[in-house]
């Protein structure tokens, strides 16, 4: 390999000149000895001293998980790889099919090669379960930890991926809601988790948000997260069951119900909380062949029982959940 050889003290100036000429090779590393620096070059430029050296090829960062594993897994195994995964702060959470279980660590190491910011890789070893909606995880590579700092929509959040629900896949939805909120609103952020919905809203708007969460770990992280961000609005964290807490809250302009599994059991509380003309954001999981009928029927039944009129103002898919099932949202006004 051809190198331009320069005295150490001239290295930075020479590097700039070579870069200007466009002759530096990016496949080889710059080398040094006690007195000289050696820049790898595609050809020897005029006016520079060039020498031949054996040289070391730079290790190129693979662009994708598949590329990082292409020499380590068979084609069959590569086909089975689940290539979509969440990165929350510096923690990646992956799923490994049973057939690749003995390759889990290899896959985790490959993720850390592709995503240099990832310091821990956790494997999801079961589905989300229980009322707290958390999944069992185990660390399979990197630092043994479950707590990280995640940034989204201008806010910072401390997240415990093992003990409290959090999904980065809802960031667009959080922005959609925050964009609708006006200064002065009173909001009930039910099922608040570590606080992402209330924080993203209160960062932008001068509002009062009651953020209700049952899981004590999620609640205490939410308390920290409120302190960690400079907010325009006020977020009042409340630990407890929506069934009980809702009765104590004032009437609201907006009620958020991000509990797609089982949220229907709290429609009565949400509708009662809404001021006349107030809006409720109701989330559900629904099959792709009939996304909205079931959720809308549930809303109408409860509203009828309570003697309230509802107007559906928007319905949309939030994100895919599993094959042929989506998370959806219905925005409705209550009169």
> Which positions touch ligand SAM (CB under 6 A)?
131-133, 165-167, 170, 191-193, 196-197, 212-215, 218, 241-243, 258-259
- Provide, rounded to whole angstroms, the least separation between the CB of residue 158 and ligand SAM: 13
**Which residue has the closest beta carbon to ligand SAM?**
193
CB of 111 to ligand SAM, least distance (A): 23
Nearer to ligand SAM, 25 or 284 (CB): 284
Q: Residues 69, 106: contact at Cβ < 8 Å?
A: yes
Residue closer to ligand SAM by CB (options 165, 326) is 165
Measured from the CB atom, the residue of 108 and 192 that comes closer to ligand SAM is 192
CB nearer to ligand SAM: pick between 94 and 188: 188
Three-state DSSP at 111 gives helix
CB of 284 to ligand SAM, least distance (A): 12
Closest to ligand SAM by CB, 69 or 93: 93
| Largest pairwise CA distance in the chain | 89
CB of 6 or CB of 214, closer to ligand SAM: 214
User: Residue 316, CB half-sphere, CA atoms under 13 Å: how many?
Assistant: 10
Distances in whole angstroms, Cα of residue 137 to Cα of each of 53, 92, 128, 163, 170: 49, 11, 10, 10, 20
Kindly state the smallest distance separating residue 309's Cβ from ligand SAM, in Å: 26
Contact 224, 249 (CB under 8 A): no
Phi first, then psi: what are they for 280, rounded to 5°? -120, 135
Cβ-based nearer residue to ligand SAM, 183 or 265 = 265
E strand segments, 153-264: 155-160, 186-189, 208-213, 234-239, 252-257
What's the closest the beta carbon of residue 156 comes to ligand SAM, in angstroms?
Answer: 15
Query: Does residue 274 contact residue 280 with C-beta atoms inside 8 Å?
Result: yes
Would you tell me how many other CB atoms lie within 10 Å of the CB of residue 150?
Answer: 21
Is residue 33 within 8 A of residue 18, CB to CB? The reply is: no
Do residues 73 and 31 touch, judged by C-beta distance below 8 A? no
Minimum CB separation of residue 242 from ligand SAM in Å reads 4
* Backbone φ and ψ of 265, nearest 5°: -70, -10
Min CB(288)–ligand SAM separation in Å: 20
């Amino acid at each position: 390999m051809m190198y331009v050889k320069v005295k150490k003290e001239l290295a930075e100036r020479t590097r700039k000149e070579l870069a200007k000429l466009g002759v530096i090779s990016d496949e080889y590393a710059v080398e040094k000895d006690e007195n000289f620096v050696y820049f790898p070059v595609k050809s020897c430029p005029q006016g520079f001293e060039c020498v031949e050296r054996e040289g070391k090829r730079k290790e190129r960062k693979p662009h994708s998980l598949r590329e990082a594993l292409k020499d380590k897994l068979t084609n069959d195994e590569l086909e089975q790889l689940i290539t979509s995964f969440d990165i929350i702060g510096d923690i990646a959470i992956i799923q490994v099919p049973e057939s690749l279980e003995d390759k889990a660590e290899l896959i985790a190491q490959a993720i850390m090669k592709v995503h240099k910011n990832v310091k821990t890789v956790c494997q999801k070893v079961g589905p989300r379960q229980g009322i707290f909606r958390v999944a069992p995880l185990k660390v399979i590579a990197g630092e043994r930890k479950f707590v990280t700092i995640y940034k989204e929509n201008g806010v910072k959040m401390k997240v415990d991926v093992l003990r409290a629900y959090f999904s980065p896949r809802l960031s667009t939805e959080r922005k959609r809601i925050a964009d609708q909120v006006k200064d002065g609103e009173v909001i009930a952020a039910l099922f608040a988790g570590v606080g992402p919905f209330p924080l993203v809203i209160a960062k932008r708007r001068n509002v009062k948000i009651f953020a209700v969460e049952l899981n004590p770990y999620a609640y205490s992280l939410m308390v920290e997260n409120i302190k960690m961000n400079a907010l325009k609005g006020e977020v009042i964290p409340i630990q407890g069951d929506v069934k009980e807490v809702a009765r104590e809250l004032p009437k609201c302009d907006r009620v958020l119900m991000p509990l797609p599994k089982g949220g229907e059991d709290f429609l009565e509380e949400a509708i009662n909380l809404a001021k006349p003309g107030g809006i409720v954001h109701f989330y559900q999981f629904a099959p792709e062949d009939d996304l909205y009928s079931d959720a809308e029927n549930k809303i109408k039944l409860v509203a009828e029982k309570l003697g309230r009129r509802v107007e559906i103002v928007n319905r949309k898919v939030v994100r895919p959940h599993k094959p042929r099932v989506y998370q959806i949202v219905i925005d409705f006004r209550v009169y």
